[in-house]
């Protein structure tokens, strides 16, 4: 039996992970930034005070922690000249610094007890980097790098670190989507809606990856294929990514052409 803290546990992958951990007999402290059914502790991951309160709650409840799951995050993105610096700051504070805050809070406890497992939820976007998603890609790639660093740095203390990199799956993540590049939001939303992979599927794969000792957990077939293509055939991967970028440009041109400018599609003034 493990003692587990999960952030962003009110819905989506967080809720599925809570269910999966409890199903195998683990004790779970489910946290989220808002009060909701099934949430044990309100935790805004951007708040140092909330993280300090979470540490106190873990000490009072269990005296230690076996697994910290940094799952909470938001969706965002936009092409490089359309994503504002305010949007970059918003997504970075949540997707990267929120996770760093949690890791920094609990690492002394894990070192003291000589064991523990950090599980950081990134995205396939941390491994492959499609056009129009610069800020999201950057934060998730940073999570991948930070997790690997923690794994090396903390191994001597008996602490493991795993990063989870799923492709698109059905979740309510898009409810958090912010950004001035509305076309990118529509494209990403469509990919999420069309996915046949569920949060429960990803949660089961996460636990299996943890049990197998995987440092990088790529939990679904679409993600594994994309990551393998980048590793095995970089020119082919680049061609796929640039074709996707060209399709985004075409959709933008078609949108401009039908927006009442009077210009034919693809020929509107910039």
Q: Which residues are catalytic?
A: 136
Q: Say if residues 184 and 132 touch (Cβ distance below 8 Å).
A: yes
Cα dihedral value 180, 183, 186, 190, nearest 10: -140
CA of 227: how far to CAs of 76, 85, 123, 140, 186, in Å?
A: 21, 29, 11, 14, 24
Sheet with 159-164, edge to edge strand ranges: 41-42, 27-32, 3-6, 67-70, 116-121, 159-164, 216-217
Please tell me the distance from the alpha carbon of residue 63 to that of residue 113, in angstroms, as a whole number.
10
Q: Which of 109, 70, 41, 89 is nearest to 206 (CA)?
A: 70
Q: Say if residues 41 and 31 touch (Cβ distance below 8 Å).
A: yes
């Amino acid at each position: 039996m493990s003692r587990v803290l999960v952030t962003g546990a009110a819905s989506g992958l967080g809720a599925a992970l809570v269910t999966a951990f409890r199903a195998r007999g683990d004790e779970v402290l489910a946290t989220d930034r808002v009060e909701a059914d099934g949430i044990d502790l309100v935790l805004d991951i951007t708040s140092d005070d909330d993280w300090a309160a979470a540490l106190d709650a873990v000490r009072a409840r269990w005296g230690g922690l076996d697994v910290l799951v940094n799952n909470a995050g938001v969706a965002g993105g936009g092409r490089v000249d359309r994503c504002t610096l305010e949007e970059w700051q918003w997504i970075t504070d949540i997707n990267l610094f929120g996770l760093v805050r949690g890791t920094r809070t609990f690492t002394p406890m894990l070192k003291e007890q000589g064991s523990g497992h950090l599980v950081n939820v990134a995205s396939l976007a941390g491994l492959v980097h499609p056009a129009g998603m610069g800020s999201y890609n950057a934060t998730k790639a940073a999570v991948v790098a930070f997790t690997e660093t923690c794994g090396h740095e903390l191994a001597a203390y008996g602490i493991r670190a795993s990063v989870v990199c799923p492709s698109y799956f059905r979740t309510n993540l898009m409810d958090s989507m912010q950004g001035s590049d509305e076309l990118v939001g529509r494209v990403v939303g469509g990919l999420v809606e069309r996915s046949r992979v569920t949060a429960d599927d990803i949660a089961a794969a996460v636990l299996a990856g943890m049990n197998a000792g995987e440092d990088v957990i790529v939990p679904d077939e679409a993600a594994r294929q994309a990551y393998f293509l980048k590793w095995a055939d970089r020119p082919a991967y680049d061609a796929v990514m640039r074709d996707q970028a060209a399709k985004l440009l075409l959709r933008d041109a078609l949108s401009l052409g039908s927006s009442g400018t009077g210009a034919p599609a693809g020929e509107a003034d910039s």
